[in-house]
Structure 1
Amino acid sequence: MTRLVFFCGHAGAGKTTLAKRLIGPLIARSGGAFCLLDKDTLYGAYSAAVMRALTGNPNDRDSPLYLQTLRDPEYAGLLDTARENLRLGVNVLVVGPLSRELREGRLFDRAWLGVDDDVSVHVVWVDLDEANAKARIVSRGNPNDAYKLAHWDEYRLRRFSPSAAAFPDLVRYDNTAPTAEDDERLLQTLLAHRC
């Protein structure tokens, strides 16, 4: 059995930090190999080069042009890489917003994911309210966030909070003030097999 874990949520929620904090304990407790696939790490330099060529702005990750041109191919490559690792017996943590894919139910659709029944799939939604997320985005000073901050009213319309009723299999993680107990509960959930 291999594990595919998605860490999803809006910008500034702390998805990557959480995944990096949990990967060591997941490896230790499961005894299996894990890889972390962060969309920004995998495609950051590539997207910067493409956006520089298209618009002159290598840091654009939120304009309509980026969303229509690069977003979907980036996610397709991310999932292709995840599937390849899973076939090799490597557990995978995937980090990215993935809000559209979640909203459309794709992350719970094994056929769309292209994974076998022996792959345990968990989808973690990292929650953080808008004000705290914006504060984190400002404090991290990543140039890729410039468009988002300059067009915050437009960006915030894309933010949504998945309801428990609509997504009963979604694992929620409140990242406002996480504790060691919160991490432990999440680890226990991720170590349990889910078909």
Structure 2
Amino acid sequence: MTLLAFFCGHAGTGKTTVAKRLIGPLMRARGTPLCLLDKDTLYGGYSAAAIAMLSGDPNDRDSPLFLQHLRDPEYRGLIDTARENLELGIGALVVGPLSREVRERRLFDRAWLGVGADVKLRVVWVHTSDETARQRIVARANPADAYKLAHWDEYRQRRFVPSGAARDDLLMFDNTAPEAADYDALLARLAA
């Protein structure tokens, strides 16, 4: 059974860091190959060029223009790439905010994902405090985060931690100051 694991959460929570830390141990634990598909790596340069053509700002990733015209195609391409790997017998760790998809429970919808019952689905919600996330965003100095930082109070209102039914089956990971035991526990749940 191939694994499709999503590492979701808001900017600055450390989604990519967690996925990178776990991919090697997870491959050893499962005895199967995995690929890492990070939305920013796959689409960062392309989206920067596209949004620059539309708005004049290559770092515009939070405007209504970007959200209405580029966000969903990025995610669809990310999921399609994961599915192609799954069809080859290669599991995938998919990294991206995917907040709307988590709220709408789409990442558990096999028909929406285009995967069969032979694929094991796991969804990790990586979270941290607003202040920790802001510090990490400042430290990484990515120009694509400029809007978030310039409009932090507005952006903060969009941040959430899933609750109620949206939280069902999510693997919650507090990445504020995790210890080795926290990573081991998440690894065990992903490998099970």
Instruction: Check if 1:31 corresponds to 2:23.
Output: no
2:122 partner letter: H
- Look up the match of 1:146: 146
What percent identity do the matched residue pairs reach?
69
Instruction: Report the alpha carbon displacement of residue 109 of structure 1 after superposing the two structures with TM.
Output: 1.0
Q: Secondary structure at the match of 1:116?
A: coil
**Alignment check: 8 A CA contact 1:164 1:170 kept:** no
Equivalences for 1:97-136 in 2 at 5 Å? 97-136=97-136
Q: Secondary structure at the match of 1:134?
A: helix
- Alignment correspondent of 1:187: 187
Gaps of 5+ in 2: none
Q: TM-score, normalised by structure 2?
A: 0.97
Residues 103, 166 of structure 2: 8 Å contact kept: no
| Contact 2:2/2:86 (<8 A) preserved | yes
**What letter is aligned with 1:125?**
W
Q: Distance in 2 between matches of 1:7 and 1:30?
A: 18
**What amino acid does structure 1 have at the position aligned with 2:14?**
G
Counterpart in 1 of 2:3?
3
> For the residues of structure 1 that align with 2:166 and 2:36, how far apart are their CA atoms?
28
Q: Is the 8 A contact 2:105 2:166 kept in 1?
A: no
Contact 2:123 2:171 in 1 (8 A): yes
Aligned AA (1:128): T
Residues 1:88 and 2:59 aligned together: no
Deviation of 1:127 (Å) = 1.2
Alpha-carbon deviation of 1:151? 1.4
> How far is the alpha carbon of 1:167 from its aligned partner?
2.1
- C-alpha displacement of 1:60: 1.3
Aligned length: 192
Letter in 1 for 2:10: H
Which secondary structure state, in structure 2, belongs to the residue aligned with residue 93 of structure 1?
A: strand
TM, length-normalised to structure 1: 0.96
Task: After the TM superposition, list the runs of 4 or more consecutive aligned residues in structure 1 that deviate by more than 3 angstroms.
Answer: none
Name the aligned partner's letter for residue 14 of structure 1. G
